[in-house]
Amino acid sequence: MKLLEIMDERVVKVPMESEDKEEAIEELLDVLVRAGKITDRDAALNAIHNRESKQTTGIGNGVAVPHGKDKSISTLVCAVGVSPQGLDFDSIDGKPVHAVFLLLAQANNPGPHLAALAEIARILEFPTMRNALFKARTPAEVMQTIRGLE
């Protein structure tokens, strides 16, 4: 699975305006709505909140991957936001988040969802890769960085 298969510049937000987890999730959901990638914002938000209630998706090292599955989602979608100043995401390491990957998937099709999560983990495994993403200042730079990492 390549993230670029489910992304384009319309679903990238740089810089994010959010200061915390809830604002970041809502900001990226709005990006997906404007891009026509989701039609039921409330259902998507509930799916993400249900997942966040189990454990934070602030995975550490400046990255968060909020995600959820819902029957209103027809295909896997992803939005990415970069926060140069960092935001409070209740991360497991207690540090600010600089990149947020928001994933929404079909409720009964876990394969693509898991593949996307694995791809995000793979490309952000190394500090130099994360730092290149954190320094991106435009949607085009984010896409170019991900293209280079994949």
Specify the pTM.
0.94
User: Residue 52 phi/psi, 5° resolution?
Assistant: -65, -30
pLDDT at 149: 73
| Residue 113 annotated as catalytic | no
Parent domain of 44: 3-149
DSSP class of residue 96 equals P
Question: What is the rounded distance in angstroms from the CA atom of residue 81 to the CA atom of residue 13?
Answer: 5
Give the CATH number for residue 10: 3.40.930.10
pLDDT at 1: 77
pLDDT at 128: 87
What pLDDT, in 10s, does the model give residues 46-96?
999 999 999 999 999 999 999 999 999 999 999 999 999 999 999 999 999
CA-based nearest residue to 25, from 45, 46, 54, 3: 45
Q: Predicted confidence band at 129 (pLDDT cuts at 50, 70, 90)?
A: confident
* 108-112, 130-134, 135-139: least confident range: 108-112
Whole-number average pLDDT of the chain: 93
What pLDDT, in 10s, does the model give residues 28-48?
999 999 999 999 999 999 999
Q: With b meaning 16 or more CB within 10 Å and e meaning fewer, what string describes 53-76?
A: eeebbbbebbbbbbbbbbebbeeb
Share of the chain above pLDDT 70, in %: 99
Q: How many domains is the chain built from?
A: 1
Active-site residue, from 49, 67, 98, 113 = 67
pLDDT at 150: 64
E-strand spans in the chain? 12-13, 58-60, 63-64, 67-70, 77-87, 97-106
